[in-house]
């Protein structure tokens, strides 16, 4: 769309470009007057700020604050184009092209740059004990608008908006379905409107696990009971093993008859923990 300023002397065109991409703004002087110099300015609240100029005598002169960011890419005095190499949020706004003419003075036009980010859309659902949540979220610049195509009754909708430092806006819409079982097998469509374009995301609700607090408590209680029983059985088993080991380790004695020992010169003895202990030394004749 073209705009005419200064009594139809300057033709300009606004631009809408994706963020972080190159962008160009154009101005064209529609009369036969001689142009001495072309100046591009950024329109600010207090006063316009000079960015870049072009003249036959000095060529292109870029102000230090805009070096490596912009340049005049159409080197003409009556038709001028300024190009942003990689747009940022600070580049969004309106700019003035100023033609300094011989005889008529300064003639200006205004061109505006709008930056956008295409939407990213996510659609998912989650079952709860007594309801179903269907969530659609979209992130874009400018802010997207979310609408739904869903059948059924007992459905409530809530929306949350979050602004990000990078200039994008996240919009999250949540449908709360009171009777989740009736929604099983049905399609849900999330529609995102952004800059006149509609993006639709469709998902079918499948039967899932209905979360139940009483059921969860029952399962947890059963698991705890089984663990306690296992610990008790293990403790009893260890206790029995310790008792058997204790009984086998008791001292017991095997006495040799005194008469047998004396008559044959054998020492008296007894067993201590499976070791044979002699009470007196065995005498041997030389």
Average pLDDT over residues 147-164: 91
| Greater model confidence, 253 or 41 | 41
Estimate the share of the chain in helix, then strand, then coil, as percent rounded to the nearest 5: 20, 50, 35
Looking at the fold, whether 178 and 137 belong to one and the same domain comes out as yes
Structural domain span for residue 98: 2-116
| Greater model confidence, 215 or 264 | 215
Average pLDDT over residues 87-95: 95
Looking at the fold, whether 170 and 137 belong to one and the same domain comes out as yes
Q: What is the DSSP code (8-state) at residue 276?
A: E
**Which pLDDT value is given to residue 65?**
93
User: Measured between alpha carbons, how far is 145 from 269 in angstroms, rounded to an integer?
Assistant: 102
Where is average pLDDT lowest: 12-16, 44-48, 103-107? 103-107
Query: How many domains, in total, are found in the chain?
Result: 2
Question: At 254, phi and psi to the nearest 5?
Answer: -125, 105
Among 81, 40, 44, smallest CA distance to 61 is for 40
Looking at the fold, whether 92 and 144 belong to one and the same domain comes out as no
Q: Is the pLDDT of residue 132 over 70?
A: yes
Could you tell me the maximum CA-CA distance found in the chain, to the nearest angstrom? 155
Looking at the fold, whether 7 and 112 belong to one and the same domain comes out as yes
What the block records as the tokens of 203 is: 């998902």
**Which pLDDT value is given to residue 154?**
82
Looking at the fold, whether 39 and 83 belong to one and the same domain comes out as yes
Looking at the fold, whether 168 and 190 belong to one and the same domain comes out as yes
> Is residue 64 in some structural domain?
yes
**Which pLDDT value is given to residue 252?**
47
Looking at the fold, whether 106 and 11 belong to one and the same domain comes out as yes
CB 97 within 8 A of CB 38: yes
> Is residue 133 in some structural domain?
yes
Which of these three, 116, 148, 163, is where a domain ends? Answer: 116
| Greater model confidence, 240 or 283 | 240
Q: What pLDDT digit, counting tens, does each position of 222-263 carry? A: 899 899 898 988 888 887 777 766 666 555 444 445 444 444
Average pLDDT over residues 28-46: 92
Looking at the fold, whether 35 and 85 belong to one and the same domain comes out as yes
Answer whether 0.75 is exceeded by the pTM: no
Average pLDDT over residues 142-164: 92
Positive or negative, the Cα torsion across 30, 31, 32, 35? negative
Among 113, 91, 115, smallest CA distance to 168 is for 115
> Is residue 30 in some structural domain?
yes
pLDDT category of residue 279 using cuts at 50, 70 and 90: low
Look at the chain and count its residues. 286
Looking at the fold, whether 133 and 27 belong to one and the same domain comes out as no
**Which pLDDT value is given to residue 248?**
60
Looking at the fold, whether 141 and 75 belong to one and the same domain comes out as no
Residue 70, classified by CB atoms within 10 Å of its CB into exposed (0-12), middle (13-18) or buried (19+), is buried
Looking at the fold, whether 137 and 32 belong to one and the same domain comes out as no
Among 27, 30, 25, 28, smallest CA distance to 8 is for 30
> Is residue 85 in some structural domain?
yes
Mean pLDDT score of the chain: 83
Average pLDDT over residues 49-68: 94
Q: Is the pLDDT of residue 285 over 50?
A: no
> Is residue 265 in some structural domain?
no
pLDDT category of residue 6 using cuts at 50, 70 and 90: very low
User: Measured between alpha carbons, how far is 134 from 84 in angstroms, rounded to an integer?
Assistant: 41
**Which pLDDT value is given to residue 261?**
46
pLDDT category of residue 284 using cuts at 50, 70 and 90: very low
In three-state secondary structure terms, 281 is: coil
Positive or negative, the Cα torsion across 33, 39, 42, 46? negative
Contacts of 18 (CB under 8 A, 6+ apart): 87, 115, 116, 117, 118
Which of these three, 165, 188, 204, is where a domain ends? Answer: 204
> Is residue 57 in some structural domain?
yes
Average pLDDT over residues 195-201: 95
Looking at the fold, whether 33 and 88 belong to one and the same domain comes out as yes
Average pLDDT over residues 199-208: 87
Q: Is the pLDDT of residue 208 over 70?
A: no
Query: What DSSP string describes 104-152?
Result: TEEEEEEEEEEEEEEEEEEEEEEE-SS-EEEEEEEEEES--EEEEE---
Q: How far is C-alpha 269 from the chain's CA centre?
A: 84
**Which pLDDT value is given to residue 280?**
53
Q: Is the pLDDT of residue 112 over 70?
A: yes
Place of tokens 């200006």: 108
**Which pLDDT value is given to residue 218?**
78
């Amino acid at each position: 769309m073209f705009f005419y300023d200064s009594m139809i002397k300057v033709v300009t065109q606004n631009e809408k470009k994706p963020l972080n991409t190159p962008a160009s703004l154009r101005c064209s002087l529609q009369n036969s007057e001689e142009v001495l110099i072309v100046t591009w300015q950024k329109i600010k609240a207090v006063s316009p700020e000079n960015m870049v100029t072009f003249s036959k005598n000095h060529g292109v002169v870029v102000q230090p604050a805009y070096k490596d960011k912009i340049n005049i890419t159409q080197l003409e005095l009556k038709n001028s184009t300024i190009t942003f190499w990689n747009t940022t949020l600070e580049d969004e706004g309106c700019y003035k092209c100023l033609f300094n003419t011989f005889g008529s003075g300064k003639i200006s036009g205004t061109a505006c740059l709008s930056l956008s980010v295409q939407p990213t859309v996510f659609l998912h659902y989650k079952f709860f004990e007594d309801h179903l949540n269907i969530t659609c979220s979209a992130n874009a610049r400018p802010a997207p608008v979310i609408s739904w195509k869903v059948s059924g009754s007992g459905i409530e909708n809530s929306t949350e908006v979050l602004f990000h430092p990078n200039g994008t806006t996240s919009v999250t819409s949540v449908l709360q379905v009171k009777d989740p079982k009736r929604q099983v097998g049905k399609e849900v469509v999330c529609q995102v409107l952004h800059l006149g374009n509609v993006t639709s995301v469709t998902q079918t609700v499948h039967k899932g696990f209905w979360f139940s607090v009483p059921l969860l408590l029952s399962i947890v209680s059963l698991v705890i009971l089984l663990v306690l029983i296992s610990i008790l059985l293990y403790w009893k088993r260890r206790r029995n093993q310790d008792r058997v080991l204790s009984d086998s380790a008791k001292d017991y004695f095997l006495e040799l008859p005194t008469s047998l020992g004396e008559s044959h010169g054998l020492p008296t003895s007894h067993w201590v923990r499976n070791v044979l202990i002699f009470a007196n030394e065995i005498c041997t004749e030389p």
